[in-house]
Structure 1
C-alpha cells in the first residue's frame, strides 16, 4: 500500500467529506482526479472501499484503511511539518524511501542497491526532498553521508508510517479472504528453545501459510528493529525498565537460572567449589548475566568466562571441558532430560527473571498478529 501518498490523502478527504465534491474542494483537485485516485486505490485493495449511494459511504475495508492512514500520517506529518510545512503535500513515497535507504547506507550507491534502483535516481529523489525542505538533510563527509538530526527524525517517522501502510495492506487482504505480509519476531535465547517452538506449532494450525520470520541477535539490535517497525514483537527476558519511551513490556511468566555441568564433572562432588571452574555464561548486560554476577558474589570469581547467547555452543563446550554453564532452567530442561548436562545442586536465590513481550507502545496488531499473540497466551507455562 506504499502507493502515491497524495492519493492516500485524497482517500482520507473523501472518507471524511463523504463525497467526491467535498474531497475535490479540500484537496484542490478536479472531481475526475479524485474519482481516478479512489478507483486506483480500490483496484489495489481488490475490493470496494466505498458504497456510492448519493454519496460515499465507507465499507468495512474503507474504515480499516482510514484507521491505518490516520495512524501513518499521524506519525509522518509532524516530522514533515517540523522541516517545512509544504512537505506534507509535496513529499512523495519514493523520496521518503530514498531518504530512509540513504540514512541506513550513508551512501547513495549502496542505498540504490538496497532499493534496486540506479544511483542517479536515488540521488535525485533525495535532492528533490532537500530542495522542497529548503535545507540539506545530509552532511557530506570523508566517511560518507551523515544524516542531520531532522533527517534522522524524518526517516524514523517514514519507517513507522510505511509499517502502518504494510499493516493496512494486511488488513485489507484479510477482509478479502487473502493473506499478505509476514509476522516478524525478535527472539531471545529462552524463547527460541522453550516457548517459541510450541507457539509456532499452535499458530500454524490456524494460519498454515502466513510467512513467519524469527530473528535473533544482540538485544540492542532487536530493539532498534522493533522501534523502526521492522520487527513486530520481541519475546524474552524483560529489562528492569523499558529500553525506550516508545516501547512497552508485558510480563508473561517467571524463570530462574541454574548451574549445569557435564555428567561426571568433579564439581558434583563438591558444589561449593563453583568458583574454581571456568564458566560459559550469557552476554554482559543481559538479565541472566546480571543474575549470574550476583550469584557468584557469594562463591568467588571464576578463573575465566566464555560469553555467548548460544545454548548449543554452551552444551558442546561443557561436553568436552570442565567448564560450567549458567543458563535458564526452562531453556536447558530438554538437555537435562536427554542427559547431555546435569544440574549442579547449589542455591539459586535471586536469579529469577521475568519473561515477556516487548512491543511498540502504539502498535496495533493485524488479525494474524493477534492470532499469534493468542497462541503465545495459550502456550504459557500453566496454561
Structure 2
C-alpha cells in the first residue's frame, strides 16, 4: 500500500460532509457528531496536511485547492468502501467500520491468521482477533473459520480485505496529493509488467520519469497475467503494462478493469546473431523444428502462437531438447544468446544492439494489442499521470522503428 496515513474514518467522512453541505454544523448533524468533535477532527487533519482544506467566508466553508484534491480522493475511497456492504449482510457496513478493524482484517488475511499477523505487527493476537470479531458482528457474516492449524480467513474476509486495501490506498494517496501540491511529490507508482513491455518500453519510460520525480521510487513487478491482475484487484499494483487480455476478472469486486490499447505489436521468431538460421531467406516450419526453444507459460500470447505453430506438420525430432518454459526476459535473452535456441518475441522487445535477430519466418495471427490495464475509476496522481504520458511517448517512438 501507499505511504502510511491512517486517519480516523469518521473525520474523513466529516470532511466530505462539510464539502457537500458547506457547513460545519450541517455536516455534524448529518453524521451524528458534535460540532466541536468535528471541528477538532478537521483541525487535526489540516495540521497533518500542513495547510487549510477549506476557505471560511460569509457563504460558509468552501474547499481550497488542496481540499479539492483531498476530497476527490476521499470520495473515491468511500465509493470503494461501499463495495464492502454487498459482500456482507449489512447495507451500511461502510458507515460502521473503523480504521483499526480495517487494518486488523488486512493483517490477518495477509498473514493467514491472528497469531502470525500479530507476530509480524508486534501486537497481541487478542487485540487483532477482537477487532476482527467486532467487524464480523457488524458484517453479520463469519470472517474466520477453523482450519488445520488454527483460524483461517473465509472468502468473505478475503473480499473485504481487498476492498479495505483499495480504500486505504485512496486515503494514503489523498495525503500524498496534498504534499505534491506543496512541491513534495510522494505516493506510490507500482507497475505490473508483462513480458512484451520489459525489454525497451518500460525501462526507457522509467529512465525519463526518474529525473522529474526523484522523490518517488517506482516498484516494478513481473509475473503471469493472472497474478498481476490479482495485484491490481488487491490494491498492490496501480497499473499493468503489456499485452492486453480481456479475460474474466477473478474475484467478486464490482469495479472491473479498464483496458487502454496504445499500439499493435507483432510477434516474430528470434535467435542470436550468428545462429544457423540468421540471414537465411524463406525459413520453413520444418527448419524451426530442428532447434530447441524458449517458451512462456500457457496463456501468454507468444505461447499460444508457439502451440499453434507446433501443432502443424510433423513432430520435432526426438534428439531436439524440450523447450525451456520461462517468462523472465533476462533468462530468455541469456538462453538465446548462449545457444541455438529460438523464441517468439515481440518486435518491441528488440532493443538496439542486444545481440538478437529476427528470423525470416511469418507467424500466423501474430499481432497483439499492447497497452494499459487498471481498475475502473482509477484516479492517477500527478506523478502517475506523468508516467502514463511518458509511457505513451515511448510507445509512439517504439512503433517507428
TM-score, structure 1 normalization: 0.90
Matched, 1:374 2:380: no
Structure 1 window deviating more from structure 2 (243-252 vs 363-372): it is 243-252
Q: Structure 1 residues 107 and 374 mapped into 2: Cα distance closer, same or farther (>3 Å)? A: same
Aligned to 1:183: 189
Which of the numbers 309, 325, 341 marks the counterpart of 1:295? 309
Matched, 1:79 2:89: no
TM-score, structure 2 normalization: 0.86
TM superposition shift of 1:351: 1.5
Matched, 1:343 2:358: yes
Work out whether residues 297 and 326 of structure 2, in 8 Å CA contact, stay in contact via their aligned partners in 1. yes
Which of the numbers 15, 21, 26 marks the counterpart of 1:17? 21
TM superposition shift of 1:114: 4.3
Please give the residue correspondences for 1:87-106 in structure 2 after superposition, counting only pairs within 5 Å: 87-106=93-112
Work out whether residues 261 and 323 of structure 1, in 8 Å CA contact, stay in contact via their aligned partners in 2. yes
Distance 2:248 2:371 in 1: 12
TM superposition shift of 1:105: 2.1
Distance 1:124 1:5 in 2: 19
Which of the numbers 328, 352, 369 marks the counterpart of 1:310? 328
Structure 1 window deviating more from structure 2 (62-71 vs 255-264): it is 255-264
Distance 2:357 2:141 in 1: 63
Q: Structure 1 residues 297 and 48 mapped into 2: Cα distance closer, same or farther (>3 Å)? A: same
Matched, 1:68 2:73: yes
TM superposition shift of 1:116: 4.5
Matched, 1:35 2:45: no
Structure 1 window deviating more from structure 2 (216-225 vs 139-148): it is 139-148
Please give the residue correspondences for 1:195-274 in structure 2 after superposition, counting only pairs within 5 Å: 195-241=201-247, 243=249, 246-267=256-277, 271-272=283-284, 273-274=287-288
Work out whether residues 12 and 66 of structure 1, in 8 Å CA contact, stay in contact via their aligned partners in 2. yes
Structure 1 window deviating more from structure 2 (279-288 vs 50-59): it is 50-59
Distance 2:270 2:62 in 1: 64
Task: Provide the alpha-carbon RMSD of the alignment.
Answer: 2.4
TM superposition shift of 1:84: 2.7
The SS at the match of 2:240 is strand
Work out whether residues 84 and 93 of structure 2, in 8 Å CA contact, stay in contact via their aligned partners in 1. no
- After superposition, what is the alpha-carbon deviation per residue over 1:20-43, rounded to whole angstroms, capped at 9, x for unaligned? 221222222222111111101111
Q: How many residues align?
A: 380
Aligned to 2:138: 132
Instruction: Provide structure 1 residue ranges, at least 5 long, that are not aligned to the other structure.
Output: none
1 or 2, which has the higher helix percentage?
A: 1
- After superposition, what is the alpha-carbon deviation per residue over 1:145-190, rounded to whole angstroms, capped at 9, x for unaligned? 3333432332222111111112212221122222121211111123
Aligned to 1:164: 170
- After superposition, what is the alpha-carbon deviation per residue over 1:291-321, rounded to whole angstroms, capped at 9, x for unaligned? 2222334454445211111233233333444
The SS at the match of 1:276 is coil
